[in-house]
């Protein structure tokens, strides 16, 4: 019997998390003959392949493993997955997510009522009070549309051409798809009963610095959809302005100090110090932290503005799009 829903999961060297996700899919309260799972490995990982093939042998669900010839990012992996699948409805989720047992059933109801695209609900379990990292991840709960939990008719994906593979990391590729759907006149149905649980993964304290490279892709998204970018993407204009002032005050203070202009240099560096306190306090406010985490937050708060400004300018130059 052909699949009614094809679930596409991109993965990159996270076999333990992928197995947890697949086990949740095997528990779906949905006829196992009516859905298939396509795992697209973006990392050519032997353990990932073993996990998928072992589960395929022991499950009634059609489970397919595809390996990318080279790492190209989740957008390209999703495109390969949905194009290789057979179902008229495509479901997207991530390898670190845990679908609720009624996930597919809840989404199907919306399609039976005429939906073309369904955006489910992402639930993020966090501690009280949360850590800084947990608070950031928890923003997924309020996201309008994310590829961690969405469904599209195959005909709709064919109409808009799938995901834009220029977004070659996990950032803004889902917003780009959302905006192209809206610009094409395709409505997105919100269904909070189609639930995915997205636990916070442990990450090294400096991981937030690496994430700043994502800012370059904001320029690409803005260039493609300037109107919707301004309307739908959280602007953080005040934070971005603080970053620019932070960098400028530090550079001005350092330059003036080296030039021997001590008074204006001191003023500029005092401004820089105040901004550092503001940025650090902004991240720690309402969160759980220890003394070591306080020190790490101060350090990353001092470095983040430089990386953020660099990647924003890098993206603006690369994609020829001025924005902030």
Residue closest to 202 by CA, chosen among 279, 152, 134: 134
**Dihedral angle over CA of 92, 86, 51, 104, nearest 10:** 50
Q: Are residues 101 and 122 in the same domain?
A: yes
Q: Are residues 230 and 93 in the same domain?
A: no
Which residues contact residue 241 at a Cβ distance below 8 angstroms, ignoring those fewer than 6 apart?
324
Q: Are residues 212 and 185 in the same domain?
A: no
Q: Are residues 130 and 236 in the same domain?
A: no
Token pair 């070659």 in the structure block, residue = 168
Give 22-57 as a DSSP string: HHHHHT-SS-TTSEEEEEEESS--HHHHHHHHHHHH
Q: Are residues 170 and 142 in the same domain?
A: yes
Where do the DSSP E strands lie in the chain?
A: 5-11, 35-41, 62-67, 89-93, 98-99, 117-123, 149-153, 189-197
Residue closest to 25 by CA, chosen among 62, 71, 68: 62
**Structure tokens that stand for 106 in this block:** 């809840």
Domain containing residue 171: 5-202
Q: Are residues 133 and 276 in the same domain?
A: no
Query: Can you tell me the distance from the alpha carbon of 274 to that of 293, in angstroms, rounded to the nearest whole number?
Result: 20
Phi, psi of 166 (to 5 degrees): -70, -25
Q: Are residues 90 and 227 in the same domain?
A: no
Q: Are residues 114 and 166 in the same domain?
A: yes
Domain count of the fold of the chain: 2
Written as tens digits, the pLDDT of the chain (324 aa) is 689 999 999 999 999 999 999 999 999 999 999 999 999 999 999 999 999 999 999 999 999 999 999 999 999 999 999 999 999 999 999 999 999 999 999 999 999 999 999 999 999 999 999 988 899 999 999 999 999 999 999 999 999 999 999 999 999 999 999 999 999 999 999 999 999 999 999 889 999 999 999 999 999 999 999 999 999 987 777 899 999 999 999 999 999 999 999 999 999 999 999 999 999 999 999 888 888 889 999 999 999 999 999 999 999 999 999 887
Domain boundary among the residues 161, 187, 202 is at 202
What distance separates the 2 farthest-apart alpha carbons in the chain?
A: 80
Q: Are residues 231 and 154 in the same domain?
A: no
Bridge partner list, 62: 36
Residue closest to 83 by CA, chosen among 100, 64, 55: 64
Q: Are residues 224 and 99 in the same domain?
A: no
Pairing outcome for strands 117-123 and 62-67: unpaired
The DSSP output letter for 57 is H
Residue closest to 18 by CA, chosen among 128, 127, 97: 97
């Amino acid at each position: 019997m052909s699949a009614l829903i094809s679930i596409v999961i991109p993965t990159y060297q996270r076999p333990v998390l992928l197995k947890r996700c697949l086990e949740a899919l095997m528990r779906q309260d949905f006829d196992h003959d009516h859905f298939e799972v396509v795992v697209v490995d973006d990392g050519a990982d032997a353990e990932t392949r073993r996990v998928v093939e072992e589960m395929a042998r022991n499950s009634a669900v059609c489970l397919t493993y595809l390996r990318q010839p080279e790492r190209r990012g989740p957008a390209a992996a999703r495109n390969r997955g949905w194009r290789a699948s057979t179902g008229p409805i495509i479901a997207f989720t991530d390898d670190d997510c845990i679908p609720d047992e009624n996930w597919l059933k809840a989404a199907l109801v919306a399609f039976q009522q005429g939906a073309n695209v369904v955006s489910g609900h992402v639930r993020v379990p966090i501690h009280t009070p949360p850590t800084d990292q947990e608070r950031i991840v928890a923003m997924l709960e309020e996201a309008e549309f994310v590829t961690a939990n969405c469904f599209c008719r195959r005909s709709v994906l064919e109409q808009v051409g799938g995901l834009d593979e220029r977004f070659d990391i996990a950032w803004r590729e889902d917003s780009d798809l959302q905006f192209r759907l809206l610009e094409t006149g395709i409505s997105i149905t919100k269904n909070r009963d189609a639930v995915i649980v997205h636990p916070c993964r442990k990450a090294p304290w400096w991981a937030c610095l690496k994430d700043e490279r994502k800012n370059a892709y904001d320029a690409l998204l803005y260039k493609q959809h300037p109107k919707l970018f301004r309307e739908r993407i959280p602007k953080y204009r005040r934070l971005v302005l603080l970053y620019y002032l932070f960098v400028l005050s530090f550079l001005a203070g350092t330059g003036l100090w080296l030039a021997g202009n001590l008074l204006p240099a001191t003023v500029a560096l005092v401004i820089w110090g105040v901004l550092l306190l503001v940025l650090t306090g902004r991240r720690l406010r309402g969160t759980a932290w220890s003394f070591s985490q306080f020190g790490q937050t101060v350090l990353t708060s001092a470095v983040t503005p430089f990386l953020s400004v660099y990647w924003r300018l890098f993206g603006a130059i690369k994609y020829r799009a001025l924005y902030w």
